[in-house]
Amino acid sequence: MSLMLKTRKGNTVPFGYKLAEDNHSLEPIEKELTALEKAKEYLENSSYREVAQWVTATTGRYISHVGLIKAINRRT
């Protein structure tokens, strides 16, 4: 599997990515990106707070409901 690196554009590392060894690129975290895709489906029947708690429990990485809104909007 080839890694698709993204260029870092700010100080914050977005949910679904980690800082690469070069400190300038972002490496995708497949588990978190998959959880974000499922989160979109869950939002049809649940609140952002509930889904953010599920994403946090599933991935082990904290995301707030506001962070979830931003992450979902960034991916669409």
- The model's confidence at residue 22, banded by pLDDT at 50, 70 and 90, is confident
CB 25 within 8 Å of CB 12: no
Which is higher by pLDDT, 75 or 3? 75
**pLDDT over threshold 50, residue 12:** yes
In the chain, domain spans:
6-75
pLDDT tens readout for residues 28-76: 999 999 999 999 999 999 999 999 999 999 999 999 999 999 999 987 6
Distance of CA 23 to the CA centre of its chain: 19
- Token output for 56: 């946090």
